[in-house]
Amino acid sequence: MTPQRDGRTAFGQGPSGIRHPDRPDRWLVPPWPATVTVHEVVRHFSRFQPRGTSSSQTHLAFYRGYATALTAAQTDDLRTKGAQRWFAEFCRCVDDCVTSAEAEVSALQSFDQVAWVKAIGLTATPELSEKAS
């Protein structure tokens, strides 16, 4: 790890980071230092937010990591009640994103494609037709 002049570690050099769930050889969010402020965490994560075409697993990994990073971040720079209230509300929003992504992943994992195909009267592939019989 490369220390900065102020003694902290440069971004991209820290012990943390989130691997991409669909491509484990890549970072979804590159490592960040262990000692960062809330604002530095928000700035770092905003650069790597998954786009709309990302998988539900990707969104879940991103928001779980974001929530963890916010919890571990230094809050010394949140000096006013307004800043502290903003931080609490922001953390609730990120937690809501985790909950939403968990629900979506759970729904996709329990989705019964065969039952769905039977219900709408379609057979999409020969393999699925065999399962539906």
Q: Summarize pLDDT for 48-102 with one digit per residue, the tens.
A: 998 876 888 999 999 999 999 999 999 999 999 999 999 999 999 999 999 999 9
Q: Summarize pLDDT for 6-52 with one digit per residue, the tens.
A: 334 444 444 589 999 988 899 999 998 878 999 999 999 999 998 87
Length of the chain: 133
At residue 101's C-alpha, the angle toward residues 18 and 97, to 5°, is 85
Q: Summarize pLDDT for 31-40 with one digit per residue, the tens.
A: 988 789 999 9
d(C-alpha 26, C-alpha 68), whole Å? 20
Per DSSP, the three-state class of 28 is strand
- Residue-averaged pLDDT of the chain: 80
Which residue(s) pair with 55 in the sheet?
Answer: none
